[in-house]
With several copies, the nearest count.
Chain A
Amino acid sequence: MRDSAIITIPSHPKYLSIVRAVTGKMAELSGMAESAIEDVKLAVDEACSNVIKHAYKGNVYQKIILRFKTSPKGFEVIIEDNGLKVHPESLVGRDLEDIKPGGLGIHFIKKVFDIFAFDEKKKKGNRLRLLRYIKGKDGD
């Protein structure tokens, strides 16, 4: 095993601070720039919040698995749950001009990750793959 880490947590919002801590450290180890690290922490937090809210409908005793992998290609996070299947057509953030609560998570995720893709082969639950390609020195 190398350049990777796996964490399994309950689907309770109090574990989001652990998700952020691990995400931040893994991003740091990957050599990412400080501002991108902050964006990545926010994005992974949002993806897990969505699992809790949408896939698990607020049930806080389910399981979320996060797999981190750093490689010359980029920084990858795979997030798995056993909740309700995502409807791909529902995966849209709100129009940023239409000010109302909610609908920002997907925007924050797509801001920093180049790939945001649910694995269609997973039978039960969801497997979200997030990948950020290695950027040049001032890449954002």
Chain B
Amino acid sequence: MEIEIVVYKGTKVMELSGEIDMYTSPELRKELMGLLQRKVSPLLVDFKEVSYIDSSGIATFVEGLKGIKTYGGRLKFFSIPDRIVEIFNFSKLDRVFEIYRNLDEAIKS
């Protein structure tokens, strides 16, 4: 897994790539918690290059969402590969996370 934080039109975007599992999710968690500490909002997450996510990765994002909500922030996901959409749907998390098709839709909404 690789994490890059870029700023697009003034908005922070976390670009993820590779596999998010029990081995790599602690690094994701650290990065996420760092951003929440600084009360970043909205925080966009680009899933385009994510090839795998397991329950530890999902748990990390559920925790991140809870954290960002404590200060009224918003967490937005976009460009999620079909396979991962399927996993979110199965876990009923498609109703919990804000999910957008692409960066522009995520920024605008």
Tell me whether A100 is interfacial, beta carbon within 8 Å: yes
CA–CA, A108 to B96, complex, Å?
18
When the two chains form their complex, are residues B55 and A17 in contact, meaning their CB atoms are under 8 A apart? no
CA–CA, A53 to B25, complex, Å?
14
When the two chains form their complex, are residues A13 and B63 in contact, meaning their CB atoms are under 8 A apart? no
When the two chains form their complex, are residues A49 and B56 in contact, meaning their CB atoms are under 8 A apart? yes
When the two chains form their complex, are residues B23 and A13 in contact, meaning their CB atoms are under 8 A apart? yes
Within 8 A of A (CB), among B16-38: 19, 21-23
Neighbouring A residues of B19 by C-beta, 8 Å? 17
Total residue contacts A-B, CB cutoff 8 A: 58
Neighbouring A residues of B56 by C-beta, 8 Å? 49
Q: Encode contact with B along A73-117: 1 for CB under 8 Å, 0 otherwise.
A: 000000000000000000000001101111111011001000000
**Interface of chain A, helix or strand or loop or mixed?**
helix
When the two chains form their complex, are residues A104 and B58 in contact, meaning their CB atoms are under 8 A apart? yes
Stretch of B6-14, B70-78, B85-93 at the chain-chain interface: B85-93
Where the two chains meet, the residues of A that have a C-beta atom closer than 8 Å to any C-beta of B are 12-14, 16-17, 20, 38, 41-42, 45-46, 49, 52-53, 96-97, 99-105, 107-108, 111
Where the two chains meet, the residues of B that have a C-beta atom closer than 8 Å to any C-beta of A are 19, 21-23, 52, 54-56, 58-60, 62-63, 66, 83, 87, 90-93, 96
